[in-house]
Amino acid sequence: MALQHSIVVTCGKGIHDILKKEVADLGFNIEKVNPYSVEIKGDFRDCMYLNLHLRTANKVLLLIKRFQAPHPDHLYQVISKIPWEDYVHINGYICVTSYIQNRHIIDTRFGNQRVKDAIVDRMFNQHGKRPDSGPKRDQTVVYLYWVNSDCHLYFDTSGETISKHGYRRIPFKAPLRESLAAAIIKSTRWKPGVPLINPMAGSGTLAIEAAMIACNLAPGLGRENFGFMHLKSYQKEAWLALRDEAKKQVTNGATTDFFINDSSLEALRAAKKNATWAGVVPVIDFHHGDFTQVKMPKEQGIVILNPEYGARLGQVEQLSNTYNKVGDFFKEKCAGHWGYIFSGNPDLSKQIGLRTSRKMPFFNGKIECRLLEYELYQGSKKND
């Protein structure tokens, strides 16, 4: 049995419970849950597997060492004793990132520098040569969590964040991060086989993420480089075997109907190209027009909209009419379906004029948002 380590999987604010379920559904036992992460036990292969399959995560961190370091000198002393030559290629490249709250550190770059110095000094003493280092995260990435005296040191096996799923080369306007879009879809009542209608699709991220789930398409299949590939533990054959296994699990998703609509031809072109790069364009129907003219399927489905909410695009006054029209669209066209609005403007959301059955909190960057659920039936009652 491979050596087990602590693995911390990080996520955006507010979606840790969604990530917890996703990690558990992949077969892992949850050791601990924090507001921004889930902790499990696993090995190097598990890190590769998680990077390949996780949809709602940001990073997969493999613990190197936990220790106490009240001062930067203590930090250096402990880290310089770690056998980095066993983990890192002498001709490689190292990037150090961190989260630091320590009274001796005013600028986190100083803490990062001490970690980097400890690593390369150790390797120079062992081999007479130092690996290169700098800010790029495309090779070996070491992550330091340091609060007061408590230090956790990790290999960031993701490198660049896995919250980006690799297909959105044309993001269009103020797009949702792919991991957030996946978390939103997982929070609705949608499941594969249920129609999903996205009347204000923008660059199509919500529908594309749902289509990838329906096709059982692992988000990491579209990516060629991860942090774990630059560690000595990496075995290319094991990674290719995981990829081959994931490819065999892909289905055509033909049992689920997906409808993308947008009033902007530019947005629709972006959505089509993104869906093509994601590998799901054959299962999505694309339509151009005003969202109020979208034809709903007879079978009960999910209709989900992410209208602008005035934080980054447009003015609140101009958007008020849009939200009113969304409420009318729900009442007049969507009876018998479940409706969802993702918005970061509670005042505008009130313009929908319908009673919510659930309100789920999220964060889009620093903006507090809500996913509002509406059970749409004939004669929907307005909010009191």
Of 251, 241, 248, the C-alpha closest to 49 is 241
DSSP string over 133-197: E-S--SSEEEEEEEETTEEEEEEESSSS-TTS-S--S---SSPPPHHHHHHHHHHSS--TTS-EE
Pick from 8, 10, 31: which is nearest to 154 by CA? 8
Model confidence at 379, pLDDT cuts 50, 70, 90, reads low
Task: Give start and end residues of each alpha helix (H) in the chain.
Answer: 16-25, 44-53, 72-79, 108-127, 178-187, 205-214, 236-248, 265-278, 316-333, 346-349
b/e per residue, 297-332, with b = 16+ CB within 10 A?
Answer: eeeebbbbbbbbbbbeeeeeeebbebbebbbebbbe
Mean pLDDT of 277-295: 94
Question: 5-156 has which CATH code?
Answer: 3.30.2130.30
pLDDT at 380 over 70: no
Instruction: Using DSSP bridges, classify how beta strands 59-68 and 5-10 pair: parallel, antiparallel or unpaired.
Output: antiparallel
Instruction: Tell me if the pTM is above 0.85.
Output: yes
Please say if the pLDDT value at position 187 is more than 60.
yes
Output phi, psi for 12, to 5 deg: -70, 165
Task: Count how many Cα atoms sit within 13 Å of the Cα of residue 227 in the half-sphere of its side chain.
Answer: 29
Grouping H, G, I as helix, E, B as strand and the rest as coil, residue 81 is coil
β-pairing, 338-343 vs 302-305, is: parallel
Q: Residue 230 has what pLDDT?
A: 98
Q: Which CATH superfamily groups domain 178-218+252-375?
A: Vaccinia Virus protein VP39 (3.40.50.150)
What average pLDDT does this structure show over 342-349?
92
Please choose, from the candidates 75, 52, 54, the residue with its C-alpha nearest in 3D space to the C-alpha of residue 65: 75
Could you read off the pLDDT of 14-73 as tens digits, one per residue? 999 999 999 999 999 999 999 999 999 999 999 999 999 999 999 999 999 999 999 999
**The CA-based dihedral angle spanning residues 111, 112, 114, 116, taken in that order and rounded to the nearest 10 degrees:** 170
Dist. CA 336–CA 300, nearest whole Å: 6
Mean pLDDT of 139-156: 97
pLDDT (0 to 100) of residue 78: 97
The number of helix segments (H) and strand segments (E) in the chain equals 10, 15
Alpha-carbon span 33 to 339, nearest angstrom: 30
- The residues spanned by each domain of the chain are 5-156, 178-218+252-375
